[in-house]
């Protein structure tokens, strides 16, 4: 398959509505019916099965959650060795707690008193689903994707996160190859690991909240 940069003539018009028999009216169908027809066709073609599709959704809803990312962060806050692993090889750190991150490089970026990190995918919505759960609507929105790279401080204000002027904001643009997990600053107080994990939110792991 050609790379993203290529735009040869053969690509022209490829997404106009297909005209193959039985496939020409999909634009007019309500979207749910269109999906059902697509599912029927790919199952009939032997490309997947209903059982496989159900298992994927079960696994997603059961296993993919921001609780997983929060556990990694809380462990890093309480275990210096784990923190070192997380910051140097985040895929290994995820695996150590039993979380899968296959097919991409995971990089953990740690907030400090001087630098706050925030993650976006300007191209689409690349994101470590297994550690954060399905992405929130705002992460996929054109407004977030377009603006956080240009005016991160203003966007974070819209989330209710006001950073001091002397805190630098680092914006990480995720891709299919590299995805990011923000390690927020540890809350004050001598809390046990489980309570620390409970403080960490999905927004904190993306960088649109302090924790």
Residues that bind another protein (CB under 8 A): 1-4, 11, 14-15, 18, 20, 23, 26, 31-32, 34-36, 38-39, 41-42, 44-45, 47-48, 52-54, 56-57, 60-61, 103, 120, 122-125, 133-138, 140-150, 155, 158-160, 173, 176, 208
65 is catalytic: no
- State the catalytic residue, choosing from 88, 124, 141, 146: 124
130 is catalytic: no
CA 171 to chain centre: 14
The residue among 161 and 191 lying less far from another protein, judged by its C-beta, is 161
The residue among 34 and 185 lying less far from another protein, judged by its C-beta, is 34
Kindly state the smallest distance separating residue 82's Cβ from another protein, in Å. 28
141 is catalytic: no
CB-hemisphere CA count at 13 Å for 184? Answer: 24
The residue among 75 and 202 lying less far from another protein, judged by its C-beta, is 202
The residue among 160 and 192 lying less far from another protein, judged by its C-beta, is 160
- In angstroms, the CA 100 to CA 106 distance is 11
- State the catalytic residue, choosing from 8, 65, 125, 135: 125
- State the catalytic residue, choosing from 2, 8, 102, 121: 121
The residue among 176 and 198 lying less far from another protein, judged by its C-beta, is 176
Kindly state the smallest distance separating residue 28's Cβ from another protein, in Å. 13
Kindly state the smallest distance separating residue 202's Cβ from another protein, in Å. 8
- State the catalytic residue, choosing from 2, 8, 102, 126: 126
Note the residue count of the chain: 211
Catalytic positions, written as ranges: 121, 124-126
């Amino acid at each position: 398959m050609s790379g993203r940069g290529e735009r040869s003539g053969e690509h022209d018009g490829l997404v106009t509505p297909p005209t193959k028999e039985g496939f020409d009216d999909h634009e007019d169908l309500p979207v749910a019916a269109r999906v059902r027809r697509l599912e029927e066709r790919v199952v009939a073609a032997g490309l997947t099965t209903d059982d496989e599709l159900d298992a994927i959704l079960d696994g997603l809803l059961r296993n993919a959650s921001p609780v997983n990312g929060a556990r990694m962060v809380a462990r890093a806050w309480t275990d210096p060795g784990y923190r070192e692993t997380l910051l140097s090889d985040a895929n290994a750190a995820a695996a150590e707690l039993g979380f899968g991150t296959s097919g991409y490089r995971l990089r953990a970026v740690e907030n400090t008193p001087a630098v706050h990190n925030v993650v976006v995918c300007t191209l689409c919505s690349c994101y470590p689903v297994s550690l954060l759960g399905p992405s929130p609507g705002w992460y996929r929105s054109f407004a977030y994707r377009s603006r956080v790279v240009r005016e991160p401080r203003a966007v974070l204000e819209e989330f209710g996160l006001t950073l001091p002027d002397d805190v630098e904001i680092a914006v990480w643009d995720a891709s299919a190859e590299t995805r990011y997990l923000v390690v927020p600053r540890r809350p004050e107080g001598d809390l046990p690991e489980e309570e620390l994990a409970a403080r960490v939110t999905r927004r904190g792991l993306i960088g649109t909240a302090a924790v």
